[in-house]
A and B are shown apart, each in its own frame.
Chain A
Amino acid sequence: MIILIVLVFLGLFLYEAPGLVAEEYWRELAVFTLLMLLGLIWSILLASGVELPYVESVWLDLFTGLKKGL
């Protein structure tokens, strides 16, 4: 599964990056790569079964805690 994910991300990178290089959009390429890396790491974590917190659970805990604190 992880190999498949890496291949998909690599495919997307190869689809987009040459155009950016040709246009000399270096900043765009840097941000694009950064976002793709973020997505890749996140996907690998999810595919490996790492338990990440759920966003709404975090907000619920935070606001419930704040309400109790006040």
Chain B
Amino acid sequence: MDKERISPRQLTFLVISFTIGSWIVLPSGIEAWQNLWLIMFLSLGQGLGFAYLALLLFRRHPGKTLFEIHEIVYGPLFGKLFSLLFLWFFLQTGAGALAVFVTLLKTTVFTATPDLALLIPWVIIVVYGCRRGIEVIARSNEPLVLATIGLIIASVFLVLNIFERENLLPLFNLPLSAVLWNSLGIAVFPFGQNVLFLMLLPKVNQPQKVMGAVFRGMVLAGLLLSLLQFLAVGVLGKVGELFVFPTYEFYRMINIGEVLTRLELIPLLNFLTMGFIKIMLCVYTMAVGTAQLFNLRAVQPLVFPLGILVLLLTRQIYPSISLHLQYIRDAQPYFGLFFCLLLPLLTLGMSFLRGGLQREMAS
């Protein structure tokens, strides 16, 4: 598994899938509904800033994963503690995404199906994918992400007859504090979560192209999400903010000549694939991280138990979707900021400090 390699293009596609992930069905910053597509650009800027800091860390320690960097910078004991924190972050990110998709399926299509009947097959597929390794995940992601991009672009033409420009107004009607808070919420979720890729960057076969690949993926994902949000607001209008899953409702509205109707299941299936990739990346990263934490030679055997832990945590993420929405609004920006900005920034600062001290001692 150590010899696995992915290309920069595959990394870009993985970043797109991971960023689109679960945000596409349950956007954060829904309070800014009509301004969301514009706020997305502000968030993208912040997200790129976070990514730049994380990539600086990778540039200072080429060929090392985040967990290896922790041990170099903080020493074996504290390094492992920091890595454990990130393991929790990956676990919660994966379980959170899975919980959102299960809630979506339960409230829209499989209303009478027990959670476990949806969770178990999902986790089995995720575990199967992770056991095949990152190369297989990256290769299978390519057609899926192209299908998603195609679908989002096709949506522009599908909604031409129901898109109302007046629905986009009023714009810029939010106080600055609300704009900044919501943009921060989106910057940490989904863009900031890309800190997870620090565990996968050493697997890219052309390390010099990593920064461009990650930035391209984030910008493309940001543009796609903004476009989709723009269309959703134009179709649903102000009432869109009342829906828990506005994207799903937006696709339900499509009606072309009473022939092409009730198309929501096609995008639903498509977005589920993005969810699969996101959760697979979380589980795979956890397996790689756990293996490095305990100095193991094999990653594969850890995938099954880690998949089970994700399944179990999914049931303990939130008791109701209303609490999840409250969490997204009030707690997620702090939680995300801690993992996506503060910890990488601290590690980067310590890395510079240690580098400087070592140079002084050498001279």
User: Which residue numbers of A lie inside 8 Å of B, CB to CB?
Assistant: 12, 16, 19-20, 23, 25, 27-29, 31-32, 35-36, 38-39, 42-43, 46, 52-57, 59-60, 62-64, 66
Contact = CB atoms under 8 A, between A and B. Distances in A.
Interface string B292-317: 00111110011011101100110111
Given A59-B327, A63-B334, 9 more contacts: A23-B298, A25-B301, A36-B304, A54-B317, A55-B95, A57-B318, A59-B331, A62-B331, A63-B330
B324 interface: yes
B323 A28 contact: no
The 6 lowest CB-CB distance pairs between A and B, nearest first, are A35-B305, A56-B327, A39-B308, A63-B331, A56-B318, A59-B331
A55 B309 contact: no
B92 interface: yes
Contacts of A32: 301-302, 304-305
B297 A52 contact: no
B301 A16 contact: yes
Contact of B298 (A28, A52, A54, A60): A28
Interface string B306-348: 1011001101111100011011001100110000000000000
A56 B309 contact: no
9 contacts: A20-B298, A28-B301, A32-B305, A35-B309, A36-B305, A38-B305, A54-B316, A55-B92, A63-B331
Interface string B74-105: 00000000000000000010011000000000
A40 B298 CA distance: 22
B244 to A, nearest CB: 15
A20 B301 contact: yes
Contact of B323 (A19, A23, A60): A60
A54 B319 contact: yes
Nearest to A25: B298
Contacts of A46: 312, 315-316
A26 to B, nearest CB: 10
A29 B327 CA distance: 37
B247 interface: no
B313 A12 contact: no
Contacts of A16: 301, 304
B290 interface: yes
A64 B301 CA distance: 39
Contacts of B331: 56, 59-60, 62-64
Contacts of A23: 298
B262 to A, nearest CB: 33
